[in-house]
Amino acid sequence: MKRIVQFRFLATLFAFLLPLTSQEVAAAEPPVAREKVIFQVSDAIPGKWNLTLNNARNVQDAIGKDKVDVEIVAYGPGIDMLKLESEVANRIDKALSDGVKIVACENTMRNMKLTQADMLPAIGYVPGGVVELMRKQKEGWAYIRP
């Protein structure tokens, strides 16, 4: 009888401790790292921009918008597609609303005598497009130039 009571006590204790152990193990697992990809656009060709925007959308569709950071960096002639009168303005707005970060190179803007008033309103800015690419690659971002 004493063994049955001990067994029941141990079984009850085990039943209460098991969920605690499972929670501790789950809490100890490292968080899943987000995927990160950066695209370069340095050509003033609408087809290149459309290809880049398609690639960005495809990455989000394949991995999940909530599991991937996507950035597009425009510099040199590619910055033309970020101007107010851009042929791809609607697609850029859609990408931005889908969580794609799109940034313009301020060095290029200065050289082309452009201001933020000349650009699409929702884009971001970086001091240097090439430097942005270098830093992101150093941080482990995948680099794509369509």
* CA geometry: angle 134, 67, 53, nearest 5 deg: 60
Q: Are residues 5 and 49 in the same domain?
A: no
Q: How many domains does the chain have?
A: 2
Alpha helices by DSSP H, listed for 71-124, are 89-97, 106-111
CB-based burial label for 72 (10 Å; 0-12, 13-18, 19+): buried
Domain hosting residue 13, numbered range: 1-30
Q: Are residues 61 and 24 in the same domain?
A: no
Record the tokens describing residue 101, joined without a space.
């970060």
pTM for the complete prediction?
0.79
Q: Are residues 58 and 7 in the same domain?
A: no
Q: What is the pLDDT of residues 16-74, one digit of tens each?
A: 555 544 455 555 666 778 999 999 999 999 999 999 999 999 999 999 999 999 999 99
Q: Are residues 76 and 19 in the same domain?
A: no
Q: What is the pLDDT of residues 106-145, one digit of tens each?
A: 999 999 999 999 999 999 999 999 999 999 999 999 999 9
Q: Are residues 49 and 73 in the same domain?
A: yes
Strand partners, 37: 70, 142
